[in-house]
Amino acid sequence: MLISRLYEPPENDILFHYCSAPSFQSILETGKVRFSDINMLNDSAEMHWGYGVFEEAAGRLIKIAETKEALKGLNKAFFDKVDEIIAPMQHRVHPFVFCLSRERDSLSQWRAYADDGRGFAIGFSAIAIKCMPVSLLAVEYEREKQVQEMMDALGATFMENEADEQKFGTKFFESSMMIGNYILAFKNPSFRDEKEIRCLHLVGAEINEKVMKFRDHGGVLGDGKEVAGEDVRFRIQDNALAAYLDMPFRRNFESPAIKAVDLGPRNPNWPTNVLYFAGALGYENLRIRKSTSTYR
């Protein structure tokens, strides 16, 4: 089921964010991490891939519906109703993401995200990240598993709707919204080496005849405290306007937010450089490690 995409971190789990030296400095100094508009990430098919999984799963279910008693009556009209909810989702709530990896020392990520090996990988406490107003999604890369999970979710939504006195009511809407959110955890298999845990934050989209704008409504922390939203700003990325927001991760959680710092294979720093810098900012008990890659 799609619910398995929701990542529940084990105790002491560490997730890594690969970044350049300037980004590393900014993250530690500000105590904030950057969430980017999902449409501006490095995967050009980011949103389209998951939607394609939905379409393939719907097509398969229509073909087998006649042979399954529990799916009797399932047809294209049902999936059109689901599509009416998930297709325009970005015009209601827009996904912003911060990317983490379960892989500690990944050469492909050193090269792609950490200044060709000259940067850092920040080891965040997964429990501390989960305490932010976010959802953690474990990305699935195997296409067939993606389709099977989507088929299970769509079939369950159909049966739930059939049993509901209020057809296509609140339950149906909520289940369809869940499907629309969880397809963000499906990616092209070519990215499988990243072993991504996707940190998702939904931002409101206000659209009317006068204006279009983002408005972050904040959320709820792990301790139940409500927090206000952050300002959504824009920067130029490859000559395109890219929306982002910076969200605090240092909120006096029980678990320190940063547990480790790894130096890329071409990073010129000594571990003591990093420890003095981090210590001046109040970070304690950091584990400093050098990449074992022989890349140069």
pLDDT digits (tens, 9 = 90+) for 254-296: 668 999 999 999 999 999 999 999 999 999 999 999 999 999 8
Cβ–Cβ < 8 Å for 264, 117: yes
Q: Is the pLDDT of residue 46 over 90?
A: no
User: Tell me, what's the pLDDT at 253?
Assistant: 61
User: Tell me, what's the pLDDT at 90?
Assistant: 77
User: Tell me, what's the pLDDT at 256?
Assistant: 83
The secondary structure of residue 186, as a DSSP letter, is: B
pLDDT higher for 258 or 44?
258
Cα 236 off chain centre by:
22
242, 100, 85, 81: CA torsion to nearest 10: 140
Over residues 21-48, mean pLDDT: 87
Give the Cα separation of 188 and 7 in Å (integer).
Answer: 19
Cβ–Cβ < 8 Å for 96, 38: yes
pLDDT-derived band of residue 158, with 50, 70 and 90 as boundaries? very high
Over residues 29-43, mean pLDDT: 87
Q: Is the pLDDT of residue 45 over 80?
A: no
User: Tell me, what's the pLDDT at 213?
Assistant: 93
Give the Cα separation of 261 and 235 in Å (integer).
Answer: 27
Q: pLDDT tens across 224-239, in order?
A: 899 999 999 999 988 9
User: Tell me, what's the pLDDT at 222?
Assistant: 82
Q: Is the pLDDT of residue 247 over 90?
A: yes
Q: Is the pLDDT of residue 251 over 90?
A: no
β-strands 287-290, 258-263: how paired? parallel
Domain residue ranges of the chain, discontinuous segments joined by +:
2-32+41-92+104-195+254-290
Listed range (120-124, 163-167, 182-186, 249-253) with the worst mean pLDDT: 249-253
**In this structure, what token pair is assigned to residue 186?**
């499906």
Q: pLDDT tens across 75-116, in order?
A: 999 999 999 999 888 788 899 999 999 999 999 999 999 999
**In this structure, what token pair is assigned to residue 49?**
């891939």
